[in-house]
Protein backbone atom coordinates (compact mmCIF):
# COMPACT_ATOMS: atom_id res chain seq x y z
CA UNK A 1 0.00 0.00 0.00
CA UNK A 2 1.32 3.47 -0.91
CA UNK A 3 2.25 5.60 2.10
CA UNK A 4 0.00 8.62 2.50
CA UNK A 5 1.61 11.89 1.50
CA UNK A 6 0.51 15.49 1.92
CA UNK A 7 0.51 17.89 -1.03
CA UNK A 8 0.17 21.67 -1.29
CA UNK A 9 -1.24 22.71 -4.69
CA UNK A 10 -2.04 26.14 -6.07
CA UNK A 11 -4.59 26.87 -8.80
CA UNK A 12 -6.89 23.96 -7.97
CA UNK A 13 -10.16 25.30 -9.36
CA UNK A 14 -9.51 23.79 -12.81
CA UNK A 15 -6.91 22.28 -15.14
CA UNK A 16 -3.90 20.45 -13.73
CA UNK A 17 -4.61 21.66 -10.20
CA UNK A 18 -8.10 20.19 -10.13
CA UNK A 19 -7.04 16.93 -11.80
CA UNK A 20 -4.13 16.44 -9.41
CA UNK A 21 -6.34 17.15 -6.41
CA UNK A 22 -8.95 14.61 -7.51
CA UNK A 23 -6.35 11.92 -8.23
CA UNK A 24 -4.42 12.38 -5.01
CA UNK A 25 -7.52 12.36 -2.83
CA UNK A 26 -8.81 9.26 -4.62
CA UNK A 27 -5.63 7.37 -3.76
CA UNK A 28 -5.74 8.37 -0.10
CA UNK A 29 -3.34 11.33 0.09
CA UNK A 30 -4.02 14.65 1.82
CA UNK A 31 -4.19 17.86 -0.23
CA UNK A 32 -3.89 21.49 0.82
CA UNK A 33 -5.62 23.19 -2.10
CA UNK A 34 -5.51 26.91 -2.79
CA UNK A 35 -7.64 28.83 -5.28
CA UNK A 36 -9.18 32.24 -5.85
CA UNK A 37 -12.81 31.11 -6.09
CA UNK A 38 -14.18 29.80 -2.77
CA UNK A 39 -16.68 26.99 -3.13
CA UNK A 40 -15.35 25.45 -6.34
CA UNK A 41 -14.03 22.43 -4.42
CA UNK A 42 -17.09 21.93 -2.21
CA UNK A 43 -17.93 18.66 -3.94
CA UNK A 44 -14.50 17.21 -3.15
CA UNK A 45 -14.62 18.52 0.42
CA UNK A 46 -17.93 16.79 1.00
CA UNK A 47 -16.54 13.54 -0.39
CA UNK A 48 -13.11 13.52 1.27
CA UNK A 49 -13.55 15.53 4.46
CA UNK A 50 -10.44 16.38 6.46
CA UNK A 51 -8.08 15.03 3.82
CA UNK A 52 -8.84 18.16 1.78
CA UNK A 53 -7.68 21.46 3.29
CA UNK A 54 -8.85 24.52 1.33
CA UNK A 55 -7.72 28.14 1.43
CA UNK A 56 -8.42 31.16 -0.75
CA UNK A 57 -5.21 32.71 -2.08
CA UNK A 58 -4.20 35.23 -4.73
CA UNK A 59 -0.60 34.78 -5.88
CA UNK A 60 -0.23 38.54 -6.41
CA UNK A 61 -0.67 39.14 -2.65
CA UNK A 62 2.72 38.20 -1.22
CA UNK A 63 1.67 38.63 2.42
CA UNK A 64 -1.35 36.38 1.88
CA UNK A 65 0.79 33.73 0.15
CA UNK A 66 3.13 33.56 3.15
CA UNK A 67 0.22 33.52 5.62
CA UNK A 68 -1.55 30.66 3.81
CA UNK A 69 1.65 28.61 3.50
CA UNK A 70 2.47 29.14 7.18
CA UNK A 71 -1.04 28.10 8.19
CA UNK A 72 -1.02 25.00 5.99
CA UNK A 73 2.24 23.72 7.49
CA UNK A 74 1.08 24.59 11.01
CA UNK A 75 -2.27 22.81 10.69
CA UNK A 76 -1.19 19.85 8.55
CA UNK A 77 2.31 19.25 9.86
CA UNK A 78 4.62 17.82 7.25
CA UNK A 79 3.92 18.68 3.60
CA UNK A 80 5.77 16.35 1.27
CA UNK A 81 5.18 17.94 -2.15
CA UNK A 82 4.47 21.53 -3.15
CA UNK A 83 2.97 22.01 -6.63
CA UNK A 84 3.29 25.60 -7.86
CA UNK A 85 0.69 25.46 -10.60
CA UNK A 86 -1.37 28.66 -10.65
CA UNK A 87 -0.74 30.83 -13.73
CA UNK A 88 -2.42 32.25 -16.81
CA UNK A 89 -1.45 33.40 -20.29
CA UNK A 90 -1.32 36.93 -21.69
CA UNK A 91 -2.11 36.73 -25.41
CA UNK A 92 -0.77 39.47 -27.64
CA UNK A 93 2.30 40.84 -29.37
CA UNK A 94 4.80 42.63 -27.17
CA UNK A 95 3.77 46.01 -28.55
CA UNK A 96 0.05 45.31 -28.16
CA UNK A 97 -0.14 44.48 -24.46
CA UNK A 98 -0.64 47.28 -21.94
CA UNK A 99 1.74 48.12 -19.11
CA UNK A 100 -0.93 47.06 -16.62
CA UNK A 101 -1.31 43.68 -18.35
CA UNK A 102 2.46 43.20 -18.31
CA UNK A 103 2.64 43.94 -14.59
CA UNK A 104 -0.18 41.55 -13.72
CA UNK A 105 1.29 38.76 -15.85
CA UNK A 106 4.68 39.08 -14.15
CA UNK A 107 3.16 39.54 -10.68
CA UNK A 108 1.16 36.33 -11.06
CA UNK A 109 3.29 33.89 -13.03
CA UNK A 110 6.79 34.97 -12.02
CA UNK A 111 6.79 36.93 -8.77
CA UNK A 112 3.88 34.91 -7.37
CA UNK A 113 5.64 31.62 -8.10
CA UNK A 114 8.91 32.91 -6.65
CA UNK A 115 7.25 34.11 -3.46
CA UNK A 116 5.37 30.82 -3.06
CA UNK A 117 8.62 28.85 -3.26
CA UNK A 118 10.33 31.27 -0.88
CA UNK A 119 7.50 30.91 1.63
CA UNK A 120 7.74 27.11 1.55
CA UNK A 121 11.52 26.77 1.83
CA UNK A 122 11.88 27.46 5.59
CA UNK A 123 9.24 24.84 6.35
CA UNK A 124 10.76 22.27 4.00
CA UNK A 125 14.20 22.87 5.51
CA UNK A 126 12.79 22.58 9.00
CA UNK A 127 11.20 19.20 8.30
CA UNK A 128 14.33 17.84 6.65
CA UNK A 129 13.36 18.07 3.00
CA UNK A 130 10.58 17.71 0.46
CA UNK A 131 9.91 18.26 -3.21
CA UNK A 132 8.64 21.18 -5.25
CA UNK A 133 7.07 20.79 -8.68
CA UNK A 134 7.09 24.11 -10.49
CA UNK A 135 4.68 23.94 -13.40
CA UNK A 136 6.36 25.82 -16.23
CA UNK A 137 5.67 25.06 -19.90
CA UNK A 138 7.38 24.06 -23.10
CA UNK A 139 7.24 27.84 -23.34
CA UNK A 140 10.02 27.98 -20.76
CA UNK A 141 12.46 26.72 -23.39
CA UNK A 142 10.85 27.79 -26.68
CA UNK A 143 8.75 30.76 -27.74
CA UNK A 144 5.70 31.36 -29.94
CA UNK A 145 4.84 34.76 -31.40
CA UNK A 146 1.97 36.50 -29.60
CA UNK A 147 2.89 34.99 -26.21
CA UNK A 148 5.96 37.14 -25.46
CA UNK A 149 5.00 38.17 -21.92
CA UNK A 150 3.86 34.67 -20.99
CA UNK A 151 7.21 33.35 -22.20
CA UNK A 152 9.04 36.04 -20.24
CA UNK A 153 7.51 34.69 -17.04
CA UNK A 154 8.18 31.05 -17.88
CA UNK A 155 11.78 31.61 -18.96
CA UNK A 156 12.15 33.71 -15.81
CA UNK A 157 10.85 31.08 -13.38
CA UNK A 158 13.06 28.47 -15.02
CA UNK A 159 16.14 30.58 -14.32
CA UNK A 160 15.06 31.12 -10.72
CA UNK A 161 14.45 27.40 -10.16
CA UNK A 162 17.73 26.40 -11.83
CA UNK A 163 19.59 28.50 -9.27
CA UNK A 164 17.48 27.81 -6.16
CA UNK A 165 17.53 24.06 -6.79
CA UNK A 166 21.31 24.16 -6.35
CA UNK A 167 21.00 26.30 -3.22
CA UNK A 168 18.56 24.01 -1.39
CA UNK A 169 19.75 20.57 -2.50
CA UNK A 170 21.94 20.23 0.63
CA UNK A 171 18.76 20.47 2.73
CA UNK A 172 17.11 17.53 1.00
CA UNK A 173 14.80 19.75 -1.08
CA UNK A 174 14.39 18.80 -4.73
CA UNK A 175 12.76 20.95 -7.41
CA UNK A 176 11.49 19.77 -10.80
CA UNK A 177 10.31 22.05 -13.61
CA UNK A 178 7.26 20.54 -15.32
CA UNK A 179 7.04 21.52 -18.99
CA UNK A 180 3.75 20.52 -20.63
CA UNK A 181 3.05 21.34 -24.25
CA UNK A 182 -0.37 22.47 -25.56
CA UNK A 183 -2.83 20.54 -23.42
CA UNK A 184 -6.57 19.90 -23.48
CA UNK A 185 -7.34 21.91 -20.35
CA UNK A 186 -9.31 25.15 -20.03
CA UNK A 187 -6.07 27.19 -20.07
CA UNK A 188 -7.19 28.76 -23.35
CA UNK A 189 -10.37 30.11 -21.77
CA UNK A 190 -8.24 31.85 -19.16
CA UNK A 191 -6.14 33.73 -21.71
CA UNK A 192 -6.16 37.50 -21.33
CA UNK A 193 -6.05 39.06 -24.80
CA UNK A 194 -4.53 42.39 -25.73
CA UNK A 195 -6.28 44.75 -28.12
CA UNK A 196 -4.93 43.63 -31.55
CA UNK A 197 -3.15 46.10 -33.80
CA UNK A 198 -3.93 45.79 -37.52
CA UNK A 199 -0.26 46.10 -38.43
CA UNK A 200 0.42 42.68 -36.87
CA UNK A 201 -2.29 40.88 -38.83
CA UNK A 202 0.11 39.69 -41.56
CA UNK A 203 2.98 38.85 -39.19
CA UNK A 204 3.77 35.62 -37.28
CA UNK A 205 1.86 37.09 -34.32
CA UNK A 206 -1.25 37.40 -36.46
CA UNK A 207 -0.82 33.86 -37.77
CA UNK A 208 -0.77 32.46 -34.24
CA UNK A 209 -3.77 34.58 -33.31
CA UNK A 210 -5.75 33.19 -36.25
CA UNK A 211 -4.60 29.66 -35.49
CA UNK A 212 -5.91 29.85 -31.94
CA UNK A 213 -9.19 31.39 -33.11
CA UNK A 214 -9.92 28.84 -35.86
CA UNK A 215 -8.58 25.78 -34.04
CA UNK A 216 -5.69 25.10 -36.42
CA UNK A 217 -3.23 25.66 -33.56
CA UNK A 218 -3.21 21.99 -32.60
CA UNK A 219 -3.74 21.00 -28.96
CA UNK A 220 -3.29 17.28 -28.35
CA UNK A 221 -1.85 16.85 -24.85
CA UNK A 222 -3.78 14.64 -22.40
CA UNK A 223 -3.92 16.43 -19.01
CA UNK A 224 -4.84 13.25 -17.11
CA UNK A 225 -1.75 11.41 -18.37
CA UNK A 226 0.34 14.47 -17.59
CA UNK A 227 -1.02 14.63 -14.05
CA UNK A 228 -0.11 10.95 -13.59
CA UNK A 229 3.44 11.76 -14.75
CA UNK A 230 3.70 14.61 -12.24
CA UNK A 231 2.58 12.37 -9.39
CA UNK A 232 5.06 9.70 -10.45
CA UNK A 233 8.03 12.09 -10.71
CA UNK A 234 7.27 13.53 -7.26
CA UNK A 235 7.84 10.06 -5.85
CA UNK A 236 11.22 9.50 -7.50
CA UNK A 237 14.26 9.71 -5.24
CA UNK A 238 16.34 11.21 -8.05
CA UNK A 239 13.81 13.21 -10.05
CA UNK A 240 14.89 15.03 -13.21
CA UNK A 241 15.54 18.75 -13.29
CA UNK A 242 12.90 19.04 -16.03
CA UNK A 243 9.90 16.90 -16.93
CA UNK A 244 8.84 17.50 -20.55
CA UNK A 245 5.27 16.37 -21.25
CA UNK A 246 3.73 15.86 -24.68
CA UNK A 247 4.82 14.82 -28.15
CA UNK A 248 4.79 18.32 -29.60
CA UNK A 249 6.77 19.73 -26.68
CA UNK A 250 9.42 17.02 -27.03
CA UNK A 251 10.04 17.74 -30.70
CA UNK A 252 9.75 21.53 -30.34
CA UNK A 253 12.20 21.70 -27.42
CA UNK A 254 14.58 19.26 -29.12
CA UNK A 255 14.63 21.34 -32.30
CA UNK A 256 15.16 24.56 -30.33
CA UNK A 257 18.06 23.10 -28.36
CA UNK A 258 19.70 21.76 -31.51
CA UNK A 259 19.38 25.14 -33.22
CA UNK A 260 20.82 26.91 -30.17
CA UNK A 261 23.77 24.54 -29.99
CA UNK A 262 24.43 24.90 -33.74
CA UNK A 263 24.49 28.70 -33.40
CA UNK A 264 26.92 28.41 -30.48
CA UNK A 265 29.23 26.14 -32.42
CA UNK A 266 29.11 28.46 -35.45
CA UNK A 267 30.42 31.28 -33.24
CA UNK A 268 33.13 29.17 -31.60
CA UNK A 269 36.10 30.83 -33.27
CA UNK A 270 34.88 34.34 -32.44
CA UNK A 271 33.85 33.39 -28.92
CA UNK A 272 37.13 31.72 -27.98
CA UNK A 273 39.14 34.64 -29.36
CA UNK A 274 37.85 37.00 -26.66
CA UNK A 275 40.58 36.11 -24.11
Q: Is 150 assigned a catalytic role?
A: yes
Nearest-angstrom CA–CA distance, 255 and 244: 14
Q: Which residues of 157-168 are buried (b: 16+ CB within 10 A; e: fewer)?
A: bbebbeebbeeb
Catalytic residue among 136, 137, 148, 249: 136
Q: Is 184 assigned a catalytic role?
A: no
Helices (H), 62-173: 62-76, 99-105, 112-126, 148-168
CA distances from 271 to 8, 256, 264, 267, 274 (A): 45, 21, 9, 6, 6
Q: Is 163 assigned a catalytic role?
A: no
Q: Cβ distance 246 to 183 under 8 Å? A: yes
Catalytic residue among 144, 150, 200, 249: 150
Give the DSSP H/E element, type plus range, for residue 52.
strand 52-56
Q: How many CA atoms lie within 13 A of 255 on its CB side?
A: 9
Nearest-angstrom CA–CA distance, 183 and 190: 13
CA distances from 177 to 88, 124, 136 (A): 17, 18, 6
Catalytic residue among 137, 148, 154, 249: 154
Closest CA to 149 of 186, 215, 212, 193: 193
Could you give the residue numbers annotated as active site?
Answer: 136, 150, 154
Amino acid sequence: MTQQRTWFITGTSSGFGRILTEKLLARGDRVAATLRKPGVLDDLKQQHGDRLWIASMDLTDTAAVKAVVDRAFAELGRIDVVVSNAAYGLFGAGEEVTSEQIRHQIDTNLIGSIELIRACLPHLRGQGGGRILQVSSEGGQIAYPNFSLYHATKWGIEGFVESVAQEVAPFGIGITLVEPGPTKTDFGRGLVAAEPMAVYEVTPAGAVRRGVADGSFEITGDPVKMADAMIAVAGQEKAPKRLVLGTSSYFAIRAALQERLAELEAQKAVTLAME
